[in-house]
């Protein structure tokens, strides 16, 4: 009797404000399917903009301020991301007035969802809510709605956010990854030891998975 292979542990450090995080995840998911790799994914919190005010900031203004991008460069990047998203089955809707938001509450809600085995589903829903539907992820009522749409209890979700019961755990988790040297996302750790940063593309992820399988074989 043959035993099933041990699933590959994949830790993904990301923020739902990060377009390259959903692009990178979708690329990785395609590579996992193409290579038929047994795996388990664990999501971890990272805030791209921990000092973002509650009201958020205009997206183009934020990119110009943080990265020094010109309006033309921002527009070009958005076209590139939109095309990549289309190729991966994810819709980016970048429009004038597209806003960035503080995500500390989002990470707390994800921590809560993880206790019910629903973190992955909620994570995907938050990416879509922000980038496709342009919903305000700094609004606790909106977050509770998204939780309910994902099959979680809305009243409990709202209570979790209002009393900030997981604030300390999220801060601790964020601090852990920063201490590990993570300065940008997406950051993917394979098998607790192989760090890969940035959205690598389906082909590169497939090569990485094949190399890891060879090392285990």
CATH assignment of the domain containing 117: 3.40.30.10
**pLDDT of 3:** 66
The verdict on residue 73 lying in a domain is no
The verdict on residue 84 lying in a domain is no
Q: How confident is the model at residue 217 (pLDDT cuts 50, 70, 90)?
A: low
Total domains in the chain come to 1
The verdict on residue 37 lying in a domain is yes
Q: What is the 3-state secondary structure (H, E, C) of 155-192?
A: HHHHHHHHCCCCHHHHHHHHHHHHHCCCCCCCEEEECC
Beta strands in 33-174 (DSSP E): 39-45, 57-58, 99-100
> Which pTM does this prediction carry?
0.94
Between the CA of residue 163 and those of 106, 195, 199, what are the distances in Å?
A: 14, 35, 35
CA distance 122 to 109: 9
What residue numbers bound the domain in which 38 lies?
A: 8-56+101-216
Closest C-alpha among 149, 155, 95, 104 to residue 122: 149
HSE at residue 39, side-chain half, CA atoms within 13 A, is 23
Closest C-alpha among 121, 185, 184, 176 to residue 147: 121
Per the model's pLDDT, the better-predicted residue between 215 and 149 turns out to be: 149
**pLDDT of 1:** 53
> In the chain, pLDDT over 70 holds for what percent of residues?
97
The verdict on residue 163 lying in a domain is yes
Q: How many CB atoms lie within 10 A of CB 102?
A: 19
pLDDT (tens digit per residue) in 1-33 = 556 778 999 999 999 999 999 999 999 999 999
Q: How many CB atoms lie within 10 A of CB 100?
A: 21
**Assigned token pair, 92:** 């980016």
CA distance 205 to 201: 6
The verdict on residue 185 lying in a domain is yes
CA distance 109 to 104: 9
The verdict on residue 78 lying in a domain is no
51 contacts: CB under 8 Å, gap ≥ 6: none
With a cut of 80, say whether residue 216 has pLDDT above it. no
The verdict on residue 154 lying in a domain is yes
pLDDT (tens digit per residue) in 54-92 = 778 888 788 878 778 788 888 899 999 999 999 999 999
- Asked whether 46 and 14 are in contact (CB, 8 A), the reply is yes
The verdict on residue 40 lying in a domain is yes
């Amino acid at each position: 009797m043959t035993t099933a292979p041990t699933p590959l542990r994949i830790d993904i450090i990301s923020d739902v404000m990060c377009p390259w995080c959903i692009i990178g995840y979708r690329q990785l998911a395609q590579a996992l399917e193409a290579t038929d790799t047994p795996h388990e994914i664990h999501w971890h919190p990272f805030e791209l903009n921990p000092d973002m005010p509650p009201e958020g900031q205009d997206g183009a203004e934020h990119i110009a301020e943080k990265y020094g991008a010109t309006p033309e460069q921002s527009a070009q990047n958005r076209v590139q991301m939109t095309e990549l998203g289309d190729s991966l089955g994810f819709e980016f809707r970048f429009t004038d007035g597209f806003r960035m938001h503080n995500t500390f509450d989002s990470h707390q809600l994800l921590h809560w969802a993880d206790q019910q085995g629903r973190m992955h589903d909620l994570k995907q829903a938050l990416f879509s809510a922000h980038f496709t539907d342009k919903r305000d992820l700094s609004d606790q009522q909106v977050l509770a709605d998204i939780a309910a749409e994902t099959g979680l209890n809305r009243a409990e979700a709202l209570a979790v956010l209002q009393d900030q019961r997981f604030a300390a755990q999220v801060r601790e988790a964020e601090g852990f990854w920063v201490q590990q040297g993570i300065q940008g996302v997406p950051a993917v750790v394979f098998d607790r030891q192989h760090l890969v940063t940035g959205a690598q593309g389906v082909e590169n992820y497939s090569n990485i998975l094949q190399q890891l399988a060879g090392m285990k074989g």
